[in-house]
Amino acid sequence: MNDLLISLVLILVKLGLILGVVLTMAAYLVLAERKILGRMQLRYGPNRIGPGGMLQPLCDVIKLLTKEDFVPGRADKWIFLFAPGLTALAALLSFAVVPFSPPLALFGREIPMVVCDLNIGLLYIFGLSSLAVYGVVLGGWASNSKYSLLGAMRGLAQLVSYELALGLALVPVVMSAKSFSLNAIVMAQADWPNLLRHPLAFIIFMISITAESKRTPFDMPEAENEIVAGYHTEYSGMRFGLFFVGEYINLVVIGAMTTVFFLGGWHGPFLPPVVWFILKVLFVAFLFIWARGSMPRPRYDQLMHFGWKVLIPLALLNVVVSGAISLAMNS
Amino acid sequence: MTTALFYILGIILLAATLMCITRRNPVHAVIYLVAGFFALALMFYLLGAPLVAAWEVIVYAGAIMVLFLFIIMMLGLAPQEVPEGPGWQRWLPLALLSASLMACTLLLILEDPAAGQKVGGFYLAPQALGEALFGRYAMAVEMVSFQLLFATIGAYLLGRPLPKGEDQ
Amino acid sequence: MNLWRDIKGTLQPFWITLGYLFKKPVTIQYPEEKRTPPPRYRARIVLTRNPDGSERCVACQLCSAACPVNCISMQAAEDADGRRYAAWFRINFSRCIFCGLCTEACPTMAIQTTPDYEICNRDVLKLVHEKDDLLVDGCGKDTEYNFYEHSGIGVVNGRGGNEDEYGPVDPKSLMP
Ligand code: SF4
Ligand code: SF4
């Protein structure tokens, strides 16, 4: 019983830590994105509030909280109210299985630095990312507005199609780790990261995860210049804020996933593992912001065409080839 | 404990499915069905097959139900009128179902905080499942995948653009 | 080859934006740095005076009529010698769109735009400028022009007394 209590408390402490770090990171990623995009477009970005604009996220939150929480007249009210939470929740929950450091020895106990090392961790992340669709779809549908509906349908089709490519891109990673557990995947990359072992899988993964997270260049579900704001057109105040925060938490999640699956997790010379992990996550986040500053948005049918006719066959081929290679190496 | 949980989950599953088939609004029905799938996933987990539970959520709740939603939206099947009565009454069943699902999950976790790998005395590891599928039942898997391939090719043939100058 | 072109087209923008990331932004940080607007910039409106110091405005209402948002209003009055002036003159800057149409309509060059663009105010009533606020000492853009030296018959100069005028013709005389 005592043991159980200690492990419960440990889980709670780790949860609190991760929540705090992830939420702060998400808030400051918003600022970082605005500043980096600004510099890429030869402007400064927000720099008025606090030194260098450091308090901007706080002001944004206050602004969003004090705005009116508006529900459109013919909306399906309860679904409308719950949908934004789903998105943010699904993104947050993914962190439960991400290992951010090797197990720590503390008070004679081996404490794994992950909230819950599921043996199906990868599938857990997948499950959550496929559930994140519901926030978008239900939110868009319940708004009862044509732009929201169009955004929701686009989001739905895009997320379902790119999930396949995403899953197939991760099969070689699972093959070389021989486990679904994220901890084991990181452990398997001790000598060299998967990025060098499966470069094609990495490219496919990056492309499909961009589509999966609805970030520019694949942000058709919220394409501002075609369908207002897509699925969150009708949202205001903190409910819009939840969609927004969910998106940036998702950015952190993507960073963590890329780090764990391809960049070798916490492995790295000189610096402590946690620092390596955070640095890698931030680097991946920068890559995504960079892509947002550089790429135009393709047309919707081009996106679907690319997903089904290029990316998925390529990913399948990659699975077969890397499977064959690892078989040949083993025998 | 496990047996009790199993029956509770069964009741939740039945209730969710019942709610699903009695909803007039197809989107609401889908939501209830998803709740049912969660109960089903928990059941698989309880039976010692976490992999199957995960696939249940990913494939059924995450992909197939989403495609259902897509069709519902595309065909505009959802009724446009706003239903009568306060919302909490309409959503009370869902709230109850989700709450009991949460309670079951919590119980499962309390039973075994170390990821519940020994519940039910039988445990199907991912590797074991893979070996069973592609070793002992390889033939069946191949047959099913061929069927899927045929279905795909058939769908492609049906949906291909007609050559010029040829109508239905 | 097409594939090569596509890959290049995908990667090149990344290189360009990375370069821009390290360039100095072109933004002017407004309250600390101010740009000097060009002299013909259309911002705060003033009423100018003749070179001799008298008011230019003759309260002809043309600016008021030209204004697309109807933000100019005035009351005309007349001196003892028949010279018209505005008893009061009011521009509501909370409505003005700084289109400059009033300055184009004005026959006397009285109403003019200036480059002073910092006229924001939290109190909207302070944006309603009266004649005292609008009138400036000076001729503005044209330092020579005086309407009454060219027109305004019989008010300031006698008939035909202006620079580019003939004297009155006697219609009863047949002499050329
Ligand atoms: S600038 Fe345009 S809007 Fe302003 S007072 Fe003159 S005519 Fe009216
Ligand atoms: S400012 Fe010019 S246009 Fe307006 S009333 Fe005076 S003279 Fe006429």
Domain holding B106, by residue range, is 2-123
The three-state (H, E, C) secondary structure of B73-136, written as one string: HHHCCCCCCCCCCCHHHHHHHHHHHHHHHHHHHHHHHHHCCCCCCCHHHCCCCHHHHHHHHHHH
pLDDT per residue over A158-207, tens digit each? 888 888 888 888 888 888 887 777 877 887 787 778 777 888 888 889 88
> Residue A136 — φ and ψ, nearest 5°?
-65, -50
* C-beta C101 within 6 A of ligand 1: yes
CA distance linking residue B112 with residue C55, whole number of Å: 93
Tell if the CB–CB gap between A38 and C13 is shorter than 8 Å. no
Look up the CATH number of the domain holding residue B21: 1.20.120.1200
CA distance linking residue A202 with residue A199, whole number of Å: 5
| Residue A6 placed within a domain | no
| Residue A105 placed within a domain | yes
Q: How many domains does chain C have?
A: 1
| Residue B97 placed within a domain | yes
| Residue B138 placed within a domain | yes
Domain holding C69, by residue range, is 45-147
Are the CB atoms for A231 and A75 separated by under 8 Å?
A: no
Angle at B100 between CA B94 and CA B102, to 5 degrees: 100
pLDDT per residue over C150-166, tens digit each? 776 566 666 666 667 67
What average pLDDT is seen over chain C? 84
Q: In ligand 1, which atom is closest to the CA atom of C69? A: 3
Question: What are the chain A neighbours of C18 within 8 Å (beta carbons)?
Answer: 290
| Residue C104 placed within a domain | yes
Ligand 1 centre to CA of C105 (Å) is 10
Task: Please tell me the distance in Å from C97's CA to the nearest CA on chain A.
Answer: 27
* C-beta C65 within 6 A of ligand 1: no
Of the listed ranges A107-116, A221-230, A254-263, C95-104, the least confidently predicted one is A107-116
Q: Are strands C72-78 and C111-113 parallel, antiparallel or unpaired?
A: unpaired
ipTM of the complex: 0.75
Q: How many domains does chain A have?
A: 1
Q: How many domains does chain B have?
A: 2
Smallest CA-to-CA distance from B38 within A19, A231, A131, C114 is with A131
| Residue A37 placed within a domain | no
Domain holding A305, by residue range, is 69-330
A99 contact partners, CB below 8 Å, separation of at least 6 = A112, A113, A114, A117, A182, A183, A186, A260, A265, A266
For residues B32 and B110, membership in a common domain is answered with yes
Please, is A227 exposed, middle or buried when counting C-beta atoms within 10 Å of its C-beta (0-12, 13-18, 19+)? buried
The whole-number pLDDT of residue B150 equals 93
A278 contact partners, CB below 8 Å, separation of at least 6 = A100
| Residue B168 placed within a domain | no
| Residue B89 placed within a domain | yes
| Residue C162 placed within a domain | no
For residues B144 and B158, membership in a common domain is answered with yes
Look up the CATH number of the domain holding residue C107: 3.30.70.3270
For residues B70 and B35, membership in a common domain is answered with yes
Q: Do chains A and B touch (3 or more CB pairs under 8 A)?
A: yes
Q: Tell me the ligand closest to C108's alpha carbon.
A: 2
Look at phi and psi of residue B15 and say left if phi exceeds 0, alpha if psi is from -120 to 50, else beta: alpha
Q: Tell me the ligand closest to C101's alpha carbon.
A: 1
* C-beta C97 within 6 A of ligand 1: yes
| Residue A15 placed within a domain | no
Are the CB atoms for A97 and A116 separated by under 8 Å?
A: yes
Are the CB atoms for A157 and A211 separated by under 8 Å?
A: no
The whole-number pLDDT of residue B160 equals 79
* C-beta C60 within 6 A of ligand 2: yes
Residue stretches of chain B with pLDDT short of 70: 1-2, 77-89, 108-124, 165-168
Q: In ligand 2, which atom is closest to the CA atom of C106? A: 3
